[in-house]
Homo-oligomer: A and B are copies of this chain.
Amino acid sequence: MFYVIGLGLCDEKDITLRGLEAIKSASRIYLEAYTSILMVQKERLEAFYGKELIVADRDMVECESDEILKDADKEDVCLLVVGDPFGATTHTDILIRARKLGIPTRVVHNASIMNAVGASGLQLYNFGQTVSLVFFTETWKPDSFYDRIKENVDGGLHTLVLLDIKVKEQSEENLARGRKIYEPPRYMTIPQAVSQLIEIETIRGEGVLDPDKTLAVAMGRVGGLDEQRILAGPLSWLLRAAADQYGPPLHSLVIVGKRVHHLEIEYGEVFAEDLGEAIGVGRSEGREKWRDVAKTEYGVVVD
């Protein structure tokens, strides 16, 4: 059996009992290590499972999938992925490949940012399509996300914005010379993300986002025990906070849609207070700003 097992969001204890059982029975266990990051290291997982893990990078999962699937018709092989198995297209590809090889497969689901974003207090059924924001360079500023956010904004829906991560990337020079030397991992911060959003708004000028009138919720390490950090306010206030105020990566951002319900605003108040504190204006100021924009721009009044 070929298992694709979701590890959930945070650490070794987020795996399900079903997932752990499969790991215990497996003869080979691969740890997928590029579409996202877990908050713990491979060694800690190995100690916890009492099993050795093989790190599977992008090359391996995409180009050597038959190696991973080898003998999975006769023994149990696991591919461990952060979040839920269906969070990345690559995992769908390898499942299709297994099917073609006649290998039985099983998926063990878990939480992913796609549903844990509910921790923002914003209701999942009010979300439109999800967008990804990649690191801009001097010469490459892809802005198709803007059209998608616009569609959501026009429909009054929330938008989950996933922030880019660069793991095991090569510099242009190393790539050109065929040297397998990799840059240190990079994770987009909330201020970077907000700054890129505002940059594209400035260029495109279609009034989709407004630094002072668009509310957003910034989320760090969702599901992380004592590490989860959620701050909320207008984009301009999120930009004022230093990157480290959002805690260690990964981060995600939610742009609040106009159909927001007063309970969603109420739930976010404590995150707005935290933002007020983070930027030094104080908790009550943070809450007042959140309420104020919710009232004037979203037409939502909280008592």
Stoichiometry (number of copies) = 2
A102 to nearest B CB, angstroms?
12
Closest chain-B Cβ to A24's Cβ sits at a distance in Å of 12
- Segment 84-129 of A: residues with Cβ below 8 Å from B: 84-87, 89, 92-93, 95-96, 99, 106-107, 109-112, 114-116, 118-119, 121, 123-129
Query: Is A84 a contact of B115 with CB atoms below 8 Å?
Result: yes
A130 at the interface (CB under 8 A from B): yes
Residue of B whose beta carbon sits closest to that of A10: B18
Given contacts A13-B17, A89-B123, A128-B128, contact A111 B114 (CB under 8 A): no
Chain B residues positioned under 8 Å from A8 (CB to CB): 16, 109-110
- Extra 20 A-B pairs, beta carbons < 8 Å, given A87-B124, A110-B111, A128-B129: A8-B109, A12-B17, A13-B18, A15-B16, A16-B16, A84-B116, A85-B118, A86-B115, A87-B115, A92-B123, A92-B263, A93-B263, A109-B223, A111-B112, A114-B115, A125-B129, A125-B132, A126-B129, A128-B155, A155-B155
* Complex CA–CA separation, A112 to B115 (angstroms): 7
Is A167 among interface residues, defined by CB-CB distance under 8 A? no
For residue A78, which residues in chain B have a CB less than 8 angstroms away from its CB? none
Task: Chain B residues near A130: list those with CB within 8 A.
Answer: 124-125, 127
For the complex, what is the distance from the CA of A266 to the CA of B97, rounded to whole Å?
11
Asked if residues A121 and B92 are in contact (CB atoms below 8 Å), the reply is: yes
* Closest B residue by C-beta to A151: B155
With both beta carbons as reference points, the residue of chain B lying nearest to A266 in the complex is identified as B96
**Complex CA distance for A34 and B143, rounded to whole angstroms:** 43
In order of increasing CB-CB distance, the 3 nearest A-B pairs are A86-B118, A109-B111, A125-B130
Given A125-B131, A128-B129, A84–B99 Cβ distance below 8 Å?
no
- Decide yes or no whether A20 CB sits under 8 A from chain B: yes
A133 to chain B minimum Cβ distance, whole angstroms, is 12
A86 with B13: in contact, given A109-B111, A109-B115, A111-B6 (CB under 8 Å)? no
In the assembled complex, the Cα of A124 lies from the Cα of B155 at a distance in Å of: 18
- B-chain residues with CB within 8 Å of residue A118 when the two chains form the complex: 84-87, 114
Write out the residue numbers on chain B whose beta carbons fall within 8 Å of the beta carbon of A15.
16-17
* A13 contacts across to B, CB distance below 8 A: 16-18, 21
